[in-house]
Chain A
Amino acid sequence: MLKNIQEWTLLLTIFGIVSLLGNWIGYDVMPAAAIPGIIILILICLAGLIIQKLIPGNIPSVAYIAIIGIIVSMPWMPGSDLVVQYTGDVNLLALATPILAYAGIAIGRSWTDFAKLGWKTIVVASFVLLGTFIGSAIIAEIVLRFQGII
């Protein structure tokens, strides 16, 4: 467990440094200004990862992490304004870019499988978007009519 925490911390820190530099180049936030924000985010992740190990059950750590993130930034939470202010300096897209850089490097090994999906992926993915959109619209229509809004 202790070894896990140490490893998570090191890797999250490396990832954080890469993100901060991307955040600087792409979104003009000086790394020094975004350091408190990234530290807060790393602490939220560590808390979620640790809780996931401690609590039995198959709830993924990202669920705990999202809940912790919401709780510490709720308006009713003391100090939440600081959490919101500091983490606001860390751009969401600056976190996404290194993820996809690592993903590109990793996905190379699955490339043959991925290429096999081919045109089927495009067909299925189109129906994924279409199905979500139409499904939501139909339910919204029913509820809005029931409420007398439309």
Chain B
Amino acid sequence: MSESQKQIWKDWRLHVIVLLIVLLTERIGTHKFALGPGVILLLPMLYAMIIGLILYFTPIIKEKQSKNAEPLIVLGVTLLIAKIGVIIGPSLPQIIEAGPALLLQELGNLGTIFFALPIAVLLGLKRETIGMTHSVAREPNVGLIMDKYGFNSPEGRGVMAVYIFGTVFGAIFMGLISGFLATITPLHPLSFAMASGIGSGSMMAAASGSLIAAFPQLENDIIAFAGASNLLSLSTGLYVSIFIALPLSEKLYQILTKRRDQKIENKSDMEG
């Protein structure tokens, strides 16, 4: 928290506008509609973000309000993390019971780094890559990146971009690929059930829902494994990100961009 944050609480224009946005969007409420095997969820938070963004381009929001909004995001995320903490606490006995299989498959979430990071580098993305590919970019990870790199950093924009994508398309995307992959690969449906718990309730519901549709005889097991895994992702995901995923992403990014830059250099040498 820097000096520039002083007196932000006095920016009543900003807080009243946000209050009005919140009241309006919560009044509209959650809407969902089915699209094929998945469900598209339209949550108040999504409308709130879009309205906020639209207002930025009107005279209602001035540069000052936009600047002052940033520390409020960081502090709002800390409240959200506190809330997630007190949800995890009571479930700790179940988490301990759930066992080593669940715990180890959490490391599979690092798969995003090996799948998505090289593609991001290949597409020419810069430091955004770190924010985008170190995790599935749900709330705790957004908080982590904002906290470590700042809201207006390339890493912050990257994590926010994937977060927005996940909020809008995450559930339908997971719903489509889980049933599809479980039917075309030799992997067991229960493995995919565990994989469904990536730390987002709506994504977990969509992914495990289409697994159940494909394997109705395994319904109870699928729900049990997916639910426990989601719990673990919520509780361990942040720490896996801090201690493994983020350092690993930084390292792999450095290696890959070095190679990319060398290639570009060689090319220009030949042309020159």
Q: How far is the CB of A130 from chain B (nearest CB, A)?
A: 6
A140 pairs with B66, CB closer than 8 A: no
Among the listed A16, A122, A135, which residue makes an inter-chain contact with B165, where contact means beta carbons less than 8 Å apart?
A: A122
B57: chain A residues at CB < 8 Å are 108
B80: chain A residues at CB < 8 Å are 92, 95-96, 99
A131 pairs with B116, CB closer than 8 A: yes
A139 pairs with B69, CB closer than 8 A: no
Q: How far is the CB of B122 from chain A (nearest CB, A)?
A: 10
A19 to B26, CA, bound (A): 10
Q: Say yes or no: A41-B198 contact (C-beta < 8 A), given A11-B9, A137-B108.
A: no
Q: How far is the CB of A85 from chain B (nearest CB, A)?
A: 10
Q: Can you name the residue of chain A whose Cβ is closest to the Cβ of B3?
A: A3
B78: chain A residues at CB < 8 Å are 12, 45, 48-49, 61-62, 65
A137 pairs with B26, CB closer than 8 A: no
- Is B209 close to A, CB under 8 A? no
Q: Can you name the residue of chain A whose Cβ is closest to the Cβ of B25?
A: A97
- Is A35 close to B, CB under 8 A? no
- Is B214 close to A, CB under 8 A? no
B242 pairs with A69, CB closer than 8 A: no
B90 pairs with A11, CB closer than 8 A: no
Interface bracket on B:
35 or more
A63 to B207, CA, bound (A): 28
B69 pairs with A103, CB closer than 8 A: yes
Within 8 A of A (CB), among B214-260: 229, 235, 238-239, 242
Within 8 A of A (CB), among B106-143: 106-116, 119-120, 123-125, 128-129, 132-133, 135-137, 139-140, 143
A15 to B8, CA, bound (A): 12
Within 8 A of B (CB), among A55-74: 58-63, 65-74
Q: Say yes or no: A42-B79 contact (C-beta < 8 A), given A25-B23, A102-B73.
A: yes
Q: Say yes or no: A48-B29 contact (C-beta < 8 A), given A106-B73, A128-B162, A136-B194.
A: no
A2: chain B residues at CB < 8 Å are none
Q: How far is the CB of A92 from chain B (nearest CB, A)?
A: 5
Q: How far is the CB of B197 from chain A (nearest CB, A)?
A: 8
Q: How far is the CB of A108 from chain B (nearest CB, A)?
A: 3
- Is A54 close to B, CB under 8 A? no
The DSSP consensus for interface residues of chain A is helix
A132 pairs with B112, CB closer than 8 A: yes
B31: chain A residues at CB < 8 Å are none
Number of A interface residues, CB 8 Å? 98
Q: Say yes or no: A135-B26 contact (C-beta < 8 A), given A15-B76, A103-B73, A125-B165.
A: no
Interface residues of B (CB under 8 A from A): 1, 5-6, 8-9, 14-15, 17-19, 21-23, 25-27, 29, 43-46, 48-57, 61, 63, 65-67, 69-73, 75-90, 92-93, 100-101, 104-116, 119-120, 123-125, 128-129, 132-133, 135-137, 139-140, 143-144, 147-148, 151-152, 154, 157-158, 160-162, 165-166, 169-170, 173-174, 177-178, 181, 187-188, 190-192, 194-196, 198, 203, 207, 229, 235, 238-239, 242
Interface residues of A (CB under 8 A from B): 3-4, 7-8, 10-12, 14-19, 21-22, 25-27, 40-42, 44-45, 48-49, 58-63, 65-75, 77, 80, 83-84, 87, 90, 92-111, 113-114, 117, 120-141, 143-144, 147, 149-150
